[in-house]
């Protein structure tokens, strides 16, 4: 099993290209199930989750061809996927695949909308909370789906063989449920209104792609989406937007270590709240023609308290990384996690490096320490993994991070991007 070794204490200087967003690429790939025509997706990141979803889609009958990465000035522009689902050969998404990645559950809506039926395993993924699928199922029922759960599978059928438009009002914001209902509504007869929809940029990116495929959608970027279902969708060409979580992660790494790094391809408007928190901590953030520049030279880290919220609030996917940064702040900061109940599993591992963190329910109180010290640590989930990388970059001596397969699910060429900017980091295989 691979491990990552880091010798801390090096400032980061240079340029880091930002990859396409995993959280947009996955539902965009799933959208290929909605049309018999070719869907071409550009700037797709080469990640374990993307490769797993490709296998799942092939199981349903999707043909996939991949163009390689570019070299030179536009190297952050990722792979190009050509997806063709002319014939859906199987409407079953089996446990052995769906259990490994939660987002694969989103095939339920498109399969149901196009084929009138689907059988999809209940999902797996990171162990960061229960994250029930009841909102997904309630939303699809509003579009005319009849749903049963048997032996760990969701068995869904469309009344009369096809979904119909309806009004879906989510009692709380859910990114996954919004994706699932949005994709299903694209082929539902008539108008669908989704109220209290998640506003994350990745949902807007999927909606923009659906518009290119022939769906009329009003309210993109707002909490109310109005979708006019189409009888059949066309192919399209769409580029995956830049990964705001990767952007925030590398910005926090620079903030933690000091230095001067340009994040090429980053879009600052996608994570304004997180960048504002970094600025409050004493980090200089400057938009450039090619992305953003992150600088911290000489100034210490000021304590900042944050509370995770749905977009446009502070992202839960950056909470662990920000906590790692705050372990070296000049004072006490408080982080409240409001999205997932189990997302503090990195705290014990940060403590192994010398962090002073106290937990009380959904609140973590971090007292900044003068220094961290390298130690063996273990990753527990995707974002926790990269928080340990940030802490290790600050720590004195050697840190060995185990179970780094979590990192491969969401960060493309992490070690290469950091080492090119001066980090002493290497992957040890086996």
Across the strands, what pairs with 356? Answer: 367
Which residues have C-beta within 8 Å of that of residue 51, sequence separation ≥ 6?
Answer: none
3-state secondary structure of 172: coil
Confidence band, pLDDT 50/70/90 cuts, at residue 129: very low
Could you read off the pLDDT of 230-279 as tens digits, one per residue? 999 999 999 999 999 999 999 999 999 999 999 999 999 999 999 999 99
pLDDT of 425 > 90? The answer is yes
State residue 130's pLDDT score. Answer: 46
Could you read off the pLDDT of 371-382 as tens digits, one per residue? 999 999 998 887
State residue 384's pLDDT score. Answer: 83
Angle, alpha carbons 244-194-107 (nearest 5°): 65
Helix (H) or strand (E) holding 216: strand 216-218
126 is catalytic: yes
**Chain region(s) in the chain for CATH 3.65.10.10:** 3-18+242-428, 22-239
What is the CATH topology of the domain spanning 22-239?
UDP-n-acetylglucosamine1-carboxyvinyl-transferase; Chain (3.65.10)
Confidence band, pLDDT 50/70/90 cuts, at residue 126: very low
pLDDT of 128 > 90? The answer is no
- Catalytic hit among 115, 126, 209, 421: 126
Pairing of strands 63-67, 79-84: antiparallel
Would you call the peptide bond into 32 cis, given omega within 30 degrees of 0 as the criterion?
A: no
Could you read off the pLDDT of 290-331 as tens digits, one per residue? 999 999 988 899 999 999 999 999 999 999 999 999 999 999
- Asked whether residue 123 is marked as a ligand-binding residue, the answer is no
What is the side-by-side strand order in the sheet with 12-17? 12-17, 259-264, 291-296, 284-287
Place of tokens 């859906």: 88
- Asked whether residue 134 is marked as a ligand-binding residue, the answer is yes
Confidence band, pLDDT 50/70/90 cuts, at residue 127: very low
- Asked whether residue 334 is marked as a ligand-binding residue, the answer is no
State residue 124's pLDDT score. Answer: 56
- Asked whether residue 389 is marked as a ligand-binding residue, the answer is no
Contact of 62 with 85, CB cutoff 8 Å: yes
Could you read off the pLDDT of 74-91 as tens digits, one per residue? 455 689 999 999 999 999
- Asked whether residue 63 is marked as a ligand-binding residue, the answer is no
Place of tokens 């994570």: 271
Angle, alpha carbons 50-180-117 (nearest 5°): 100
State residue 341's pLDDT score. Answer: 73
- Asked whether residue 90 is marked as a ligand-binding residue, the answer is no
- Asked whether residue 22 is marked as a ligand-binding residue, the answer is yes
> Which CATH class name applies to 3-18+242-428?
alpha beta
Angle, alpha carbons 396-401-405 (nearest 5°): 150
State residue 97's pLDDT score. Answer: 86
């Amino acid at each position: 099993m691979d491990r990552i070794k880091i010798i801390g204490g090096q400032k980061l200087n240079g340029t880091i290209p930002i990859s396409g967003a995993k959280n947009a690429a996955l539902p965009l790939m799933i959208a290929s199930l909605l049309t018999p025509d070719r869907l071409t997706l550009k700037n797709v990141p080469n990640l374990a989750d993307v490769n797993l979803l490709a296998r799942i889609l092939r199981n349903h009958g999707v043909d996939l061809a991949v163009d390689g990465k570019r070299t030179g000035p536009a190297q952050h522009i990722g792979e190009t996927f050509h997806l063709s689902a002319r014939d859906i050969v199987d409407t079953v998404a089996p446990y052995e695949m769906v259990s490994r990645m939660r987002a694969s559950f989103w095939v339920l809506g498109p399969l149901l909308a196009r084929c009138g039926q689907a059988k999809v395993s209940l999902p797996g993924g990171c162990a960061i909370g229960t994250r029930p699928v009841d909102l997904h199922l309630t939303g699809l029922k509003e579009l005319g789906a009849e749903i049963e759960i048997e032996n760990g599978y969701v068995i869904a059928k469309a009344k009369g063989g096809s979904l119909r438009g309806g009004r879906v009002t989510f009692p709380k914001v859910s990114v996954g449920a919004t994706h699932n209902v949005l994709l299903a509504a694209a082929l539902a007869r008539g108008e669908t209104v989704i109220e209290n929809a998640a506003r994350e940029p990745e949902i807007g990116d999927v909606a923009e792609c659906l518009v290119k495929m022939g769906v009329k959608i009003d309210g993109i970027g707002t909490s109310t989406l109005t979708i006019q279902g189409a009888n059949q969708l066309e192919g399209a060409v769409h580029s995956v937007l830049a990964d705001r979580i990767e952007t925030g992660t590398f910005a926090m790494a620079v903030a933690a270590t000091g230095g001067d790094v340009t994040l090429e391809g980053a879009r600052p408007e996608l994570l304004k709240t997180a960048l504002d928190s970094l600025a409050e901590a004493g980090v200089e953030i400057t938009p450039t023609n090619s992305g953003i520049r992150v600088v911290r030279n000489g100034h210490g880290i000021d304590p900042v308290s944050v509370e995770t919220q749905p977009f446009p609030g502070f992202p839960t996917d950056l909470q662990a990384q920000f906590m790692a940064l705050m372990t070296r702040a000049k004072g006490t900061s408080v982080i409240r996690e409001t999205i997932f109940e189990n997302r503090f599993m990195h705290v014990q591992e940060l403590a192994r490096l010398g962090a002073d963190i106290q937990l009380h329910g959904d609140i973590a109180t971090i007292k900044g320490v003068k220094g961290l010290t390298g130690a063996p640590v273990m990753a527990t989930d995707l974002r926790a993994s990269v928080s340990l990388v940030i802490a290790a970059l600050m720590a004195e001596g050697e840190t060995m991070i185990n179970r780094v397969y979590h990192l491969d699910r969401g960060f493309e060429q992490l070690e290469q991007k950091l080492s090119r900017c001066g980090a002493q980091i290497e992957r040890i295989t086996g």
